[in-house]
Amino acid sequence: MSDQKQYATYNDVHNLCKQSARGPLKEFKINLIIAIGGGGYIPARILRSFLKETPDAPNIPIQAIGLSLYERLGTESVEEAPGTEVKRLQWLDINSSMANLIGKNVLIVDEVDDTRTTLKYAVEELTKDVKNAQDQLAPGDDRKNLETKFHVFVLHNKDKAKKGALPEDMTVNDQRYHAAVTTGDVWICYPWEAENIEEHDRKAKLHPIVDTKKTTIEESSTQAVQEKVV
């Protein structure tokens, strides 16, 4: 990861959620949100406001899970650092909350897709737990035959080699995966991490998040125009 820091403001987060909810996420028909703490909490709450189909529609329920990525550095010691081992800090109750996911279009929300290790863990474990919840339903329960679809939303996806993999039917052609912005492999600073929010916003003006896909498109368009002129 580059030492270069780029800054997202609360307004950036709000607008990215709004644009995504009224754009690609609308096709997902989401009726339940799972926020990965702590970076997914604020985007999830903002998304809920814009995913409502009508102003008088009921709010989409939000549930939360807590995951932390650890790296085992010694035989007994575990230090929190970018690593390969995911630890559950908070999870859904298999006997009640998990049954509520059956047959739903569930949106998993996090702030950033870095190594994809945490997202892979969340999708695989939630899928497994929903299957277990279905298996525990009484014979003849119609929910046994319902399909649960998991979708993923992140504010930023870092364009880099991933350690974790999501199901192909989720990521191919972005069928059930959406990143609002694709960035380089940079250090992203979010406003909820800032001690001095005014200073954070000042830095955001100097070092905003760079959308590499947008930059690539603009550069390609400029090159095409120049070639046409020549």
Alpha-carbon distance 130 to 97, whole Å?
A: 10
Token digits of residue 190: 């979010």
Alpha-carbon distance 180 to 215, whole Å?
A: 14
| Tokens 């870095």 -> residue | 114
Phi, psi torsion values for 7, nearest 5 degrees: -120, 135
* Tally of CA atoms within 13 A in the half-sphere of 47 that contains its CB: 36
Alpha-carbon distance 5 to 3, whole Å?
A: 6
CB 181 within 8 A of CB 206: no
Q: What is the dihedral of CA 169, 178, 123, 146, to 10 degrees?
A: -60
The answer to whether 113 is a known catalytic residue is no
Tell the burial category of 165 from Cβ atoms under 10 Å away from its Cβ (0-12, 13-18, 19+): middle
Nearest to 151 by CA among 47, 63, 34: 34
Type of residue numbered 144: K
The residue count of the chain comes to 230
Q: Given 56, 114, 174, 185, which residue is catalytic?
A: 114
Return the active site residues. Answer: 114
